[in-house]
Amino acid sequence: MSVAPQHNPVKSVLWMIVTGMLFVSMTALVKFVGRDVPSAQGAFLRYFFGLFWLLPACLRLFREPLGRRVWALSAVRGVFHTAAILLWFYALTEISFAEVTAMNYLTPVCVTLAAALFLGEPLALRRIMAICVALIGAMIILRPGIREVSPGHLAMIGAALALGGSYVIAKFFADRIDPGRVVALLSVATTIGVLPFAIAVWQPVGWAEVGLLFAVATLATGGHYTMTLAFRLAPVALTQPVTFLQLVWATITGVVFFSEPVDIWVVAGGAMILGAISYMSWREAVLKRRMQTPTVPAVKF
């Protein structure tokens, strides 16, 4: 019999801090390797090595039937995620570490819009207001007309949109398939999807690059695991603001390791986007608790 996890906000926050450190470390390695390895090749090797950690879940894909609809939707999700990963890897070679991290916060906004368009989820006034604040934050980061919007910035916008499509399908899977197989399906589909692009630009890599990309896969897997632990111990509304530390660490990492100047507008825009996301998460948590709290006649033992 499974035991429900205890509510422990302190441990949850600590796990989210660890998650942020893992993800920032992963991003730093991707940016470092991107100097010598084409972005498509790096993306393929990252997902290919990630399958090593997901091997048990991958084997289950063929032992238990999933149905044609699941396979078809997984293929569609693979297309979205492939586009997102290729654009994200490319953006890391074109714009600053902090800009990539800040603009990555746009993904939940894209998920909210996609869920309203394709899953029929209501778009209440508070959601619309939060989305507007997040978009203003994105404009502060980009500052079109004041500075050049580079291909890297456009790539990150495309990555956020593509990830939105991917996560909407993930939401559809959430109540139908166990999480292990959902992740395995995504990893297999993305590895296959990125492969043709990697072949087109493939070049020999040394053992050092292979080791670093294996470390990238390990850090990404570890980050998703610690994030899951955090979500099990406290609501997302509590842990979401902690992710702002990723932007702080990304800014420091960019200055120390990549000689990138601190851009206060990127930090301010990222804070606005994350604030809007945190508000949406908090409101969703409040509404969910209200819906799940049974009336007295409905209580059963």
Joined tokens for residue 77: 């999700």
Q: What is the pLDDT along the chain (301 residues), one digit of tens a residue?
A: 444 456 777 888 888 889 889 989 998 999 888 888 999 999 999 899 988 888 877 777 777 777 788 889 889 999 999 999 999 999 988 999 899 989 988 888 887 887 777 767 777 788 788 888 988 999 999 888 788 889 999 999 999 899 888 888 877 776 677 777 778 888 889 999 999 999 999 999 899 999 999 999 999 888 878 877 777 777 665 666 777 788 888 888 998 888 888 899 999 999 998 888 888 777 766 666 655 444 333 334 4
Whether 23 and 242 have beta carbons less than 8 Å apart is answered as: no
Residue type, 88: W
pTM score, whole prediction: 0.80
